[in-house]
Structures are given as structure tokens and as C-alpha cells.
Amino acid sequence: MKVMHYQGYGSPDRLVEAEAPQPSPGAAQVRIRVNASSVNPIDWKLHDGQLRWIVPRRFPAVPGLDVVGMVDKTGGAAMPFAEGDRVMSLLTPARPGAAAGYCLADVPGSLVKVPAAMSDLEAAGLPLAGLTAWQGLIRLGRLQAGQRVLIVGASGGVGHFAVQIARVTGAFCVGVCSQANLDWVKQLGADAVVDYTTGQAPGDPHSFDLIFDCVSRLGHSDIQTLLKPGGIYVDTLFKPALMLRSLIQPLYTRQRYKAFLVNGSVDDLNQLLRLYAAGTLKTHIDSVYDLADLAEAHRRSQSGRARGKIVIRVDAA
């Protein structure tokens, strides 16, 4: 089968096309014939060395955490999935591999069937970014109707889902993005938008119940100023300094800092699919690349200019 793999730590220049044998599923796994995947910042951060202290890689290493495709083979007799089922899943950072003709997914993991009305490309953009937005806002941030939430990086993969989820929740949402994306983020459902390049404060002091930082941009003093006394700051980048601060904060303030790595969850992914079915959540596709052009897709992600999701079209042949 075709794969794209990193030959070692470094830039996307180290991504090369190769042939590899099809993997065999274990007892609690299925093999998926991959139709589509997507690119998330963690895909290249795992392979440029930034996260080697959390998830070390062995090379050659096939990237890709979002997968959509057909169940090709099951590893056990009592499986809730059958060959031919169209499914999506979030693979684990320890065992990625969606940038290939075939990959393995754990059961249950976050494996769910794809709704018939949802295209492969739409579905491919949802698992990691959608789950990160849902878990950051709802699970950790405990966002509720009537609260004020600041979403930093509102036009990106995670951010554009977060704005839509905040709208459905009934919160007042302020989105921070570049000037070029202000109108688009408002169309997604933000009540107010702020151009980060102007340097203006995105709100009055102590005006937000929740800050969801999708790009890990805000400094400590800004966070303290913008959060209400009992507010929550959630960062999508798992940083040692932030983890230390989250332990120290309760000693002198009611403000809470939280950083997390997204968890694969069937329940949470089904929540997102219910919003999709209701027409209140949509995957906005920035660009589509063929698998052979994965390095260019990673560079697009590194540019920080993607609006919504970067999606990979895969031919399993």
C-alpha cells in the first residue's frame, strides 16, 4: 500500500512516499481502507521534535490522526462494525497512521459510523479539531448559556468549530482572528470579532467566563486581566509551564488554567454528529490535497493561514 512517512525529525521536507505492507488488526481493532484524512498542527509537531518529550517517535513514521474510510477487516468476532461500514475515527498520537492506504483503529476508541449525508472530506476534518473544540469548551470550560467566551484563533481548524459550538450553547462569543477572516468568523456565529493584529484588547477587564486559546497566543498578564475572578482559561497546547501554573493558581486566585490533549471519545464524537444532523455544525474546508502532496499540506498548516480544515484525499491503491 502507499504511505507517506517522515524519515526522521525535521520539516515536511522529510516526508516521502513509500510502499508498506497492509497492517493486520488485533482483537480490538479494525482495518480501514482510507478514503480521506486531514492535517492538524499536531501532525507536524509530532515529527519536528516539539513533542518528543511527550510522544517520542520511531522512524520511519506515518503521520495522520483523522481517518475516514471503509472497514476492510475486523480483528474480532464480536465487533459492532462490519466489513463495508463507512467510519471515522481519531487515532491516538502514539499510533497515528492515516496518511496511508490502510490503517488500524481501536474499538471502541472514537470509531463511529459516518452519516450518509456527510461526505468523506467533511468527515475527515471533524474528529481531532471537533473533539478538541467540544472538550475544551464543554468538558473543561463548562461553557453555559449566557456566559461570555473568548475564542483565540477563531478561524482555524479547532477555532471555527469552537465558534459554532459556542453559538449552539447560547454563550456570547468573541472571536479573535486576522482582519481577513473577521466577516467569516461572524458568519460562523461569533457575536463580536477582534483583529489580533491591531493590538486592541478583545474585551473589558474581567469580562470573560472562559477563554479558549486555540493557538496558545495569550500571555499570563492578558489572561489574568481578561478573565473574571472565577473564570477558566483553556489552552490546546500541552505546555509544562502552563501545567505548573495550573497547580499554583489555586493558591492565590479563583481563576483556573487548564491545558489538555484531546481524548478519543465515541460519546463526544456522536454529540458533534448530532449537531451536524441538526444543521448547526459544519466542517469548513480550506483546501484539499492528494496524499502524495502531504508535505505541501503540512506547510499550509504551518503557515497559520488556513481557514477551517486542510483535508487529504487518499487513494488506497
Are residue 200 and residue 297 in the same domain, yes or no?
no
- Please indicate, yes or no, whether residues 48 and 100 belong to a single structural domain of this protein: yes
- 3-state secondary structure at position 223: helix
**Model pTM?**
0.94
**Are residues 144 and 73 part of one domain?**
no
pLDDT at res. 217: 81
For residues 219 and 292, membership in a common domain is answered with: no
pLDDT in tens, the chain (317 residues): 999 999 999 999 999 999 999 999 998 999 999 999 999 999 999 999 888 888 889 999 999 999 999 999 998 767 889 999 999 999 999 899 999 999 999 998 899 999 999 999 999 999 999 999 999 999 999 999 999 999 999 999 999 999 999 999 999 999 999 999 999 999 999 999 999 988 888 888 899 999 999 998 888 889 999 999 999 999 987 666 666 666 666 656 778 888 888 999 999 999 999 999 999 999 999 999 999 999 999 999 999 999 999 999 997 64
Question: What type of residue is 277?
Answer: A
Which pLDDT score is estimated for 246?
61
Residue 184: name the closest of 307, 275, 301, 39 by CA. 307
Is 96 found in the same domain as 188? no
Whether 16 and 96 share a structural domain: yes
213 within 8 A of 260, measured Cβ to Cβ: no
69/190 same-domain check: no
Classify 257 as helix, strand or coil: strand
Tell whether 98 is covered by a domain: yes
23 HSE (CA, 13 A, CB side): 24
Q: Is residue 268 in a domain?
A: no
Number of domains in the chain: 2
In a domain, 274, yes or no: no
Q: With the C-alpha atoms ordered 313, 307, 264, 294, is the resulting torsion angle positive or negative?
A: positive
- Distances 43 to 2, 15, 55, 115, 207 between C-alpha atoms, Å: 18, 12, 12, 26, 34
**277 in any annotated domain:** no
Question: How far is C-alpha 98 from the chain's CA centre?
Answer: 14
In a domain, 275, yes or no: no
Domain of 249, CATH number, reads 3.40.50.720
Kindly report the CATH number assigned to the domain that includes residue 58.
3.90.180.10
- Asked whether residue 135 falls in the same domain as residue 173, the answer is yes
**Containing structural domain, residue 89:** 2-126+283-313
Reported as half-sphere exposure (CB side, CA atoms, 13 A), residue 98 has a value of 32
pLDDT at 244: 63
What pLDDT score was predicted for residue 239? 62
pLDDT number for residue 201: 83
* Residue-level pLDDT at 44: 94
On whether both 115 and 148 belong to a single domain, the answer is no
Check residue 257 and give its pLDDT: 87
Task: Name, in order, each residue with C-beta under 8 angstroms of 189's C-beta and a sequence gap of 6 or more.
Answer: 163, 164, 166, 167, 173
> Does some domain include residue 273?
no
> Does residue 253 lie in a domain region?
yes
DSSP-assigned letters across all residues of 149-218: EEEETTTSHHHHHHHHHHHHHT-EEEEEE-GGGHHHHHHHT-SEEEEGGG---SS-TT-EEEEEETT---
* Pair (159, 204) in one structural domain: yes
Query: Based on the domain organization, do 188 and 76 belong to the same domain?
Result: no
The answer to the question of residue 186 being in a domain is: yes
Whole-angstrom Cα distance, residue 215 to residue 203?
Answer: 18
Q: Can you list the positions of beta strands (E) in 260-315?
A: 285-290, 309-313
